[in-house]
Structure 1
Amino acid sequence: MGMMGGGRPVGRARAAEDKKWLAEHPVSMKRVVSLFKPHRGTVAVVIALIVASSIIGLAQPFIVRELIDHAIPQQDVRMLVFGAGGLVLIALVTAVLEVVQTWRATLMGQRVMHGLRTGLFTHLQKQSLGFFTNSKSGDVQSRLINDVGQMQSVITNSATSIASNLTTVVATACAMVAISWQLSLISLVVFPPAIFLARKTARMRRTVTGQRQQEMSNLASLIEERLSISGVRLSKIMGTGTADAEAFTGSSRRLIDLEMRSALAGRWLMATMSIIFAVIPAVLYLVAGLPVTSNGMSIGTLVAFTGLQAGIFRPVMGLMQISVQWISAMALFSRVFDYLDADQELVVPVHPRRLDAAKVRGEMVLENVSFSYPEARKPTLDSLNLRLEPGTMTAIVGATGSGKSTMGSLLPRLLDPTGGRVTLDGIDLREIEPEDIAEVVSVVAQESYLLHTSVRENLLWAAPDSSEAQLWQALEAAQIAELIRSLPDGLDTMVGQRGHRFSGGEQQRLAIARTMLRKPKVLVLDEATSALDTVTEALVQQALDELAIGRTTLLIAHRLSTVMRADQIVVLDQGRIMESGTFSELVAQGGRFAQLVAKSELASEDA
């Protein structure tokens, strides 16, 4: 499946990109129409309102003609009252119809967009980690927020604008011919050059506007990268503050030039439009005034026709943009469908076997398990057979790239094996509801992820029904309760972006407390202390020991101190189990594990 970057192209580049995307990812019109099937009634009402508004509005020039030609010259009070009242009534009715039409169209658009947005979010949640690893940064957010969001404009604005413009053009053209076919012919002669000039000016402005939007995007990226907490830290460390300021200044200076060009292009567009609106009526007045061409034309006819002619220009221009709007709309749908059509690597069972967490023993078994990444030449895991007895700790050791983390990802079903199966209490994980697996199996990784909210909310995210006492109990067990109590806001302390309010060890202990609240039966510890100093590691290790009590634990580690207490140790090498046993058994065998210990590859400072 093709991936696109997080930013959307703009101006001409956007149109070209949309055409290229559609050529590579065509979208069925039938599929687009199917989105609106549940809203057939609303579509019919909106179209009816558009047609009614356009037709009712066309009565105005005919009333004006009667007022000017008959009511005013003849001082016909009755006709004057009815005519003036008719003009007010037409304005009132068309305004009400347009409000109702906008309300119905917007509501329909929001509902369609809501269905797409929630469907896409749910679908992406079911994807494997590999899907997100292979996606470009920001692409998922861009499609979920930007592309789906722009569909609101497509559905409510573009679609209704096309329908309204088409109805207005057809109805107005018929009314113009009915009032004066001679003046209609003259308008046809003047229209082409007028439209050509307006389009050329609009195209120029669109190009400049596209460049301006691109520069604004660059400016926003600079702000996001340089003024984020990580960016500021890196800038201070690397001493790039001056260079960053110069880059920002240069981008801002270029934006000034583009803003000026955009503003002037806009003025040229307005000037061109003003000339067009002045030239066409002038020609019509000239024709109507010359004895040779007037043919007894009344003033009312001229005024009514001029009003119609002025009103037809904008919808004609709008219809000329249909191709661009159509391509843009189809590209948006195609991008969203592209993600919706992505195959689920982690298929949710149609008839899942539900687990009662209270009755789960926690026995995990890997039966002839193999795993290969799509781009890899050889399997990461090859024919593994391993049993994790309930309530025991199994330590996995091996060199970098031996497959330890991949094995750890199989237990919570972050990945599915490409061969063999992984079972929980004898049931294949692929047959179990994902939410049930998440309730039973938890992971504490080297990099803990905290939400940008309070400590309390971070803990409740794992167990929403936890009481205050349970929160403090988990913090006590994680060896961090004393620190939280010492903070002015206690549990309501904000952790900051990505948890930067706390140190790495403190973040890790908060993550452990959060996991404790879930009370999992199976625990995966993926090098949870490898990036910590000795003192912090001791605190975190205490918390992990507390967390592992009574749980089936898979410990992925590279330090001797963290594997000595394991019930069994498994040595991985190039995706295969080389040997397994207790610490003393493996040292006594003098095999691969003994070599690692002898070479201090597993030794920590206190070994």
Structure 2
Amino acid sequence: MNTKRLIKAVAGTRRYIALAVGMQVLALLVNIGMIFVLADFVQALLAGRVRLGPVVLAVAGAFLVRALSQYVQTWASYRSSMAVKQRLRLALFDKAYSYGVAYSGYISPGELVQIGVEGVEQLDNYYGRFLPQLIYSLLAPVILFVALVQLNVQVALVFVAFIPIIPLAIFLVQKLAQRVMTNYWGSFIGLADRFLDNVQGLVTLKLYGADEARNEAMNKEAEAFRLATMRVLRMQLSNIGVMDLVAYGGAALGTFMAIFALSQGALSAAGCLAFILLGADFFLPLRQLGAFFHVAMNGLAAVDRLFKVLDRPAAAEAALEPAPAGLALEVDGVDYGYTADVPVLKDIHLKVRPHELVALVGPSGCGKSTLAGLLCGEYEPNRGIIRYGFGAGENRAAVLAKRIGRIDAQPWLFNESVRANLQMADPTVSEAKMWQVLEKVRLADRLRAAEGLDTVICEGGGNFSGGQRQRLAIARLLLKEADLYIFDEATSNVDAASEAVIMEVIKDLCRQATVVMITHRLQLTLEADQVVFMTKGRIEEQGTAEALLAQEGAFAKMYTEQRQLETYGSGRAQTRERVGAPIPPVTPQLADAADSPAEAWGYYGQLQRQGVM
């Protein structure tokens, strides 16, 4: 348990806890005074001396003071718990923020949400109820004993004798409660992770018809969580039953001893009544402490997981190293792997001049997007270093987040107005500037025909086409005014018209910044100042597109195959129009003898249409 760390965390709110305990003690003292007044009134009534006025004033004053103290106690408990919850949430999200956009590699989003929201919220029971009640439970029996021992020592000792049994029961159940609550929170967070994963991938599950299987798996996990919850409740109710037996049994025995002392003449009627009315107050504080303990254990188990997150190694803070003169970016001997034994990038060397357009290409899985993540600061190289032509000596993470802009094939647009989405890049941007970037991406006319900048984007951008969504995200990116832009497959899911607009924007960007473009469309590399061709985590070829094509190496081969695939259908159509006769059927032998994989792929497609395959 991290109880000591939690108590240290209360350093800034001790005055609120002290105030809450003080109000409880004040209410107890007022209650003792009122009981003694009532007991004296009953004694006087038995003697035939009745003075009702002082009793009414005493009771009314006691109720007023108790109500006021209850209000102040509730306020102080709320302030203490709120301050600590805010402090722990800030610490948790500061830890996640320190890892940057790649935080999910260190903290799962489901765990972050469950601990940061529900887990920390449970601390309200610990700081607002359990901790003040713990202090008050130690003071209340002492105060009551001092008040009642003057009436009869033996009866007072009977009450005190039962007091240690309740803390002993709490202590004995603590180990069991810790294990049960740890299992409960493990099941809770596991279920939350699975639920979030399934919701995010719901479309994929439906497409593959796997939603029913996932539903059954979720039902099994939900049932396991229900059983864990029932174990928690069973443990709590069993222990509360034991504490009730001790508390009410002790009060009953004390009451019997008081009545016996009255019958023996060792106690007056007023004293007997005082023992009977105050007997429950001996046990109620500890009884409530036991109840709060079980509720607080829920928060403590969650906080155990929170501290495990906070104790994870912090992201390394380093100063940005300057690139050599005349370079906007230098990648010097960089190795990287998501796990230590599986390298993804090996010995990467890359030099980029200011205002260059660099095309990063290669087969899928060769490490292009991983290199883009390294350039953005999402990951740290295992070996080597990356230098930049800006922000020398400043905090690396802060500078890269501010001065590098990145967009991928599926940018996120929020279910808000176009204005609100654009202002995320620059909250102070003017309307004229927003319209300017919208003109660049050819969206101004589309929005003017709607509601302008106040046009609301539906969830997932449903009221925009794929190309329009991409161009709107690029408009937002342009407002960031970064030094380095990374377009990671930004043209992969758009139509030809949108692709042309995006390429025009990219070329225009090179006038003010450096651009790295990752693409599978090798035709676009003809616009680049430098082409970097990667295979299996290494840079295999590097230079202009024309130079690489002249080399007739791996880049030239992939470029040629891609062009053949892109022009295959149109070439056949032109042949049909020119000859004026149908294309002769393709034979399997012709497909097997194809000159290139692209040509073979086209032949096999036609064979399928002919019903041969």
What is the TM-score with the length of structure 2 in the denominator?
Answer: 0.75
Given that residues 125 and 296 in structure 2 are in contact (C-alpha distance below 8 angstroms), is that contact kept between their aligned partners in structure 1?
no
| 1:454 paired residue number | 417
| 1:470 paired residue number | 433
Q: Quick check: 1:68 aligned with 2:42?
A: yes
Residues 446 and 88 of structure 1, relative CA distance in 2, 3 Å threshold: same
| 1:121 paired residue number | 93
Residues 453 and 165 of structure 1, relative CA distance in 2, 3 Å threshold: farther
Per-residue deviation, residues 41-62 of structure 1 (Å, max 9, x unmatched): 4444444444333333322222
Return the alpha-carbon distance in structure 2 between the equivalents of residues 500 and 163 of structure 1: 57
| 1:424 paired residue number | 388
Q: Quick check: 1:303 aligned with 2:273?
A: yes
Q: Quick check: 1:373 aligned with 2:343?
A: no
In our comparison, the structure showing a higher alpha carbon Rg is 2
Given that residues 243 and 290 in structure 2 are in contact (C-alpha distance below 8 angstroms), is that contact kept between their aligned partners in structure 1?
no
Given that residues 369 and 383 in structure 1 are in contact (C-alpha distance below 8 angstroms), is that contact kept between their aligned partners in structure 2?
yes
Given that residues 363 and 552 in structure 1 are in contact (C-alpha distance below 8 angstroms), is that contact kept between their aligned partners in structure 2?
no
Q: CA deviation at 1:524?
A: 0.6
Q: CA deviation at 1:245?
A: 10
| 1:59 paired residue number | 33
Q: CA deviation at 1:525?
A: 0.8
| 2:128 paired residue number | 156
Return the alpha-carbon distance in structure 1 between the equivalents of residues 476 and 77 of structure 2: 45
Q: Which letter maps to 2:271?
A: T
| 2:328 paired residue number | 364
Residues 485 and 248 of structure 1, relative CA distance in 2, 3 Å threshold: farther
| 1:564 paired residue number | 526
Residues 604 and 293 of structure 1, relative CA distance in 2, 3 Å threshold: farther
| 2:400 paired residue number | 437
| 2:359 paired residue number | 395
Return the alpha-carbon distance in structure 2 between the equivalents of residues 198 and 415 of structure 1: 47
Q: CA deviation at 1:63?
A: 1.8
Q: Quick check: 1:141 aligned with 2:113?
A: yes
Return the alpha-carbon distance in structure 2 between the equivalents of residues 37 and 256 of structure 1: 37
Return the alpha-carbon distance in structure 2 between the equivalents of residues 292 and 160 of structure 1: 36
Residues 550 and 338 of structure 1, relative CA distance in 2, 3 Å threshold: same
Q: CA deviation at 1:550?
A: 4.0
Given that residues 166 and 286 in structure 2 are in contact (C-alpha distance below 8 angstroms), is that contact kept between their aligned partners in structure 1?
no
Q: Quick check: 1:317 aligned with 2:287?
A: yes
Per-residue deviation, residues 566-594 of structure 1 (Å, max 9, x unmatched): 11101122332222111111011122211
Q: Which letter maps to 1:57?
A: N
SS at 1:494 equivalent:
coil
Return the alpha-carbon distance in structure 2 between the equivalents of residues 35 and 270 of structure 1: 29
Given that residues 445 and 528 in structure 1 are in contact (C-alpha distance below 8 angstroms), is that contact kept between their aligned partners in structure 2?
yes
Return the alpha-carbon distance in structure 2 between the equivalents of residues 271 and 416 of structure 1: 55
Q: Which letter maps to 2:42?
A: I
Per-residue deviation, residues 216-244 of structure 1 (Å, max 9, x unmatched): 99999999899x7974x568757799999
513-522 vs 163-172, greater mean Cα deviation: 163-172
| 1:99 paired residue number | 71
Q: CA deviation at 1:553?
A: 0.8
Q: Quick check: 1:171 aligned with 2:143?
A: yes
| 1:483 paired residue number | 446
| 1:495 paired residue number | 457
Q: Which letter maps to 1:61?
A: I
Return the alpha-carbon distance in structure 2 between the equivalents of residues 375 and 446 of structure 1: 25
168-177 vs 103-112, greater mean Cα deviation: 168-177
Return the alpha-carbon distance in structure 2 between the equivalents of residues 326 and 479 of structure 1: 58
| 1:6 paired residue number | none
Return the alpha-carbon distance in structure 2 between the equivalents of residues 279 and 41 of structure 1: 36
| 2:348 paired residue number | 384
Q: Which aligned pairs between 1:548-587 and structure 2 lie closer than 5 A?
A: 548-587=510-549
Return the alpha-carbon distance in structure 2 between the equivalents of residues 395 and 463 of structure 1: 28
Given that residues 336 and 345 in structure 2 are in contact (C-alpha distance below 8 angstroms), is that contact kept between their aligned partners in structure 1?
yes
Q: Which letter maps to 1:54?
A: L
What's the C-alpha RMSD, in Å, of the aligned pairs?
4.9
Given that residues 402 and 573 in structure 1 are in contact (C-alpha distance below 8 angstroms), is that contact kept between their aligned partners in structure 2?
yes
Per-residue deviation, residues 128-147 of structure 1 (Å, max 9, x unmatched): 44441343341112222223
Return the alpha-carbon distance in structure 1 between the equivalents of residues 136 and 557 of structure 2: 80
| 2:314 paired residue number | 344
Return the alpha-carbon distance in structure 2 between the equivalents of residues 459 and 588 of structure 1: 43
Return the alpha-carbon distance in structure 1 between the equivalents of residues 495 and 390 of structure 2: 40
Given that residues 328 and 352 in structure 2 are in contact (C-alpha distance below 8 angstroms), is that contact kept between their aligned partners in structure 1?
yes
Q: CA deviation at 1:418?
A: 2.9
Gaps of 5+ in 1: 1-21, 201-206, 356-360
Residues 484 and 173 of structure 1, relative CA distance in 2, 3 Å threshold: farther
Q: Quick check: 1:36 aligned with 2:10?
A: yes
Return the alpha-carbon distance in structure 1 between the equivalents of residues 475 and 491 of structure 2: 15
Given that residues 162 and 318 in structure 1 are in contact (C-alpha distance below 8 angstroms), is that contact kept between their aligned partners in structure 2?
no
Residues 176 and 436 of structure 1, relative CA distance in 2, 3 Å threshold: same
Return the alpha-carbon distance in structure 2 between the equivalents of residues 141 and 274 of structure 1: 37
Return the alpha-carbon distance in structure 1 between the equivalents of residues 353 and 277 of structure 2: 86
Q: CA deviation at 1:121?
A: 2.1
Return the alpha-carbon distance in structure 2 between the equivalents of residues 255 and 584 of structure 1: 62
513-522 vs 49-58, greater mean Cα deviation: 49-58
Q: CA deviation at 1:172?
A: 2.8
Return the alpha-carbon distance in structure 2 between the equivalents of residues 586 and 535 of structure 1: 27
Give the fraction of aligned pairs with identical amino acids, expressed as a percent.
25
Gaps of 5+ in 2: 173-178, 571-613
SS at 1:343 equivalent:
coil
255-264 vs 147-156, greater mean Cα deviation: 255-264
Number of aligned pairs?
566
Per-residue deviation, residues 363-392 of structure 1 (Å, max 9, x unmatched): 422242313235142433233222211111
Q: CA deviation at 1:314?
A: 2.5
Return the alpha-carbon distance in structure 2 between the equivalents of residues 55 and 377 of structure 1: 68
Return the alpha-carbon distance in structure 1 between the equivalents of residues 401 and 166 of structure 2: 65
Residues 230 and 163 of structure 1, relative CA distance in 2, 3 Å threshold: same
SS at 1:390 equivalent:
coil
| 2:485 paired residue number | 523
Q: CA deviation at 1:431?
A: 3.7
SS at 2:428 equivalent:
coil
Structure with the bigger RCO (C-alpha within 8 Å, sep 6+) is 1
Return the alpha-carbon distance in structure 2 between the equivalents of residues 368 and 556 of structure 1: 20
Return the alpha-carbon distance in structure 2 between the equivalents of residues 536 and 76 of structure 1: 96
Per-residue deviation, residues 520-556 of structure 1 (Å, max 9, x unmatched): 2321111112233545544544444444554311111
Return the alpha-carbon distance in structure 1 between the equivalents of residues 349 and 511 of structure 2: 25
Q: CA deviation at 1:504?
A: 3.0
Q: Quick check: 1:513 aligned with 2:483?
A: no
Return the alpha-carbon distance in structure 2 between the equivalents of residues 426 and 441 of structure 1: 10
